[in-house]
Amino acid sequence: MEQTASPLILVVEDERRIARIIELELMHEGLSVVIATDGQTGERIALERDVDLILLDWMLPGMDGLQVCKSVRKVKNTPIIILTAKDSTGDKVAGLDAGADDYITKPFETEELLARVRAALRKGKSREELRVGDLIVIPEQRRAYRALKPLELTTREFDLLHYLVRHADKVLSRDAILAQVWGYEFDGETNVVDVYIRYLRLKVDEPFSPPLIHTIRGVGYVLRKL
């Protein structure tokens, strides 16, 4: 994933004054904010837009925070922080059970809100995953899976796979791979690329089907789902 604009925070809060205060605080931190003042609108924005974090009030007219949380969780793993005026343990547990990542009890200090927002954004970033067919690469965690099975890769194998997946569908020359994965200073033979592609195929392709790593004769390699 390339560098993106500032993270987008969805604030679902029916009390406009509170929504506005939160919006100002978040904007002051350089974050982008969109506000929904009811549950249905919040749900729609959460599902339709590329939101990085949802601050979700619990008590909302119509569809409440819990329902919004459950609905979003069915399809997206966007971090969700529940804002609740309730201080009972039962409600917090219900929120976390519904898939929320965290909760803040109102009234809250600005510093606490911002600290939790930052933590949730970091957590969300670590969930970013690249997918090609049933191959999943999670760069922040340096983990890869095929057909939901973890792949045991060495550091170099992971770097190579990450590079191939980042440029999926694009034919990459041995020189380009060597420069990007081994670095321009590497003065070994370009056939080190072929050797490592062979290692990767043993782990990523051979136990599974169909193969994802393809040789382009005379050029190099491409990772794609045919």
Judged by the rule CB under 5 A, the positions of this chain that interact with Ca ion are 14, 57, 59
Q: Is the dihedral of CA 47, 48, 53, 54 positive or negative?
A: negative
Minimum distance between the CB of residue 84 and Ca ion, rounded to whole angstroms? Answer: 9
Q: What is the CA radius of gyration of the chain?
A: 22
Residue whose Cβ sits closest to Ca ion: 59
**Interacting residues of 208 by C-beta distance below 8 A, sequence separation 6+:** 134, 146, 147
Strands 143-146 and 149-150: antiparallel
CB of 60 vs Ca ion, minimal distance in Å: 6
User: Quick one: 59 or 114, whose CB is closer to Ca ion?
Assistant: 59
Q: Which is nearer to Ca ion, 46 or 136 (CB)?
A: 46
CB of 59 to Ca ion, least distance (A): 4
Q: Alpha helix (H) ranges present in the chain?
A: 16-28, 39-48, 65-75, 89-97, 110-125, 155-166, 174-177, 191-200
14 vs 102, which CB is nearer to Ca ion? 14
Query: How many CB atoms lie under 10 A from the CB of residue 196?
Result: 20
Which CB atom, from 58 or from 221, has the smaller least distance to Ca ion? 58
Residue type, 33: V
CB 121: neighbour CB atoms within 10 A? 16
Indicate the residue among 100 and 223 with the shorter CB distance to Ca ion. Answer: 100
Taking the complex as a whole, the smallest distance from the CB of residue 18 to Ca ion amounts, in Å, to 8
Rounded Cα distance between 154 and 199, Å, is 10
Q: How far is the CB of 177 from Ca ion (least distance, A)?
A: 53
Q: Distance (Å, rounded) from C-alpha 70 to C-alpha 51?
A: 16
Nearer to Ca ion, 18 or 34 (CB): 18
Answer for the pair 213, 200: CB distance below 8 angstroms, yes or no: yes
Question: Least distance to Ca ion from the beta carbon of 92, Å?
Answer: 16
